[in-house]
Homo-oligomer: A and B are copies of this chain.
Amino acid sequence: MTIITLTTDFGLADGYVGVMKGVIAARAPGARLIDLSHAIAPQDVRGAAALLHRAIPYFPAGTIHLAVIDPGVGSTRHPIIVTTPDAIFVGPDNGLFSAALAQGGAQTWRLDRPQFWLPQVSATFHGRDIFAPVAAHLANGVPAAELGSPLPHPVRLPPPPEPELKPDGRLSGRITHADHFGNLISDIPAAWVADGRWACRIGGEQIVGLSRSYADAPPGQLLMLISSDGFLEIAVRDGSARTRADLDVGAALELIPLR
């Protein structure tokens, strides 16, 4: 049973996602549908790309990831398939699949064969009219090479700024993600701070050392720990670091080595 994951900025109120599922289920009744998120901020291609990148390793090989964050829908941007040794991606050519494209063995196909789409294609909802039926065909075993033509230069997002180990021994990075709990996840890899001998000044407070779990700090206190994806995370036990420190995605973070 092939899995198709769905990631959009459509929200769940309007029935858009349900309609895409109807289109898929009508064509690939055996495919299993799993929602990743439909609460991507409108047009936040980069945020969706990062969410996909975090999620993919937990799905079986051959999973089809359908993602529609598509501000250019109906324009000249291409609809594409990206195949990697592990997974297949379907969506707009706007950088959503940059992480997959950076992998060895990635291939991109431009969807240019309307016989595999809905008979009528709107200019505003390719999720329903192109991507959902194409995902269904993929789930049914139709190869990407039959659904499109090779696209040599797919769009890639400019790489984000890299975290830095500075000459004076400090680390600098950025908040890349704030989750539902208000946990602030950074781009500083766990390995850089694994010795725990670091302090961080944030929102007028100082966090010293690394906690192992949320429960290691008293309720309400800011702490640093390793996120579930292996990066430095700022959190508050039973609370929101985002609110507490008044910080959000993109904010700079500096860590000072403890002597």
- Residue among A73, A177, A180, A227 having the largest count of chain B Cβ atoms under 10 Å: A180
Check: A114 CB closer than 8 A to any chain B CB.
no
Inter-chain contacts of A257 with B (CB < 8 A): none
- Let me know if B128 and A228 touch, CB within 8 A: yes
Assign chain A's interface to a size class. 35 or more
User: In whole angstroms, what is the CA distance A82 to B181 when docked?
Assistant: 27
| 10 cross-chain pairs, A with B, having the tightest CB-CB distances, nearest first | A74-B213, A125-B228, A11-B180, A75-B215, A13-B39, A18-B36, A122-B228, A22-B59, A26-B60, A22-B58
- Let me know if A37 and B14 touch, CB within 8 A: yes
**B interface footprint on A89-129 (CB within 8 Å = 1, 0 otherwise):** 00000000000000000000000000000000011110011
- Let me know if A75 and B3 touch, CB within 8 A: no
**B interface footprint on A16-46 (CB within 8 Å = 1, 0 otherwise):** 1111011101100100111111111011000
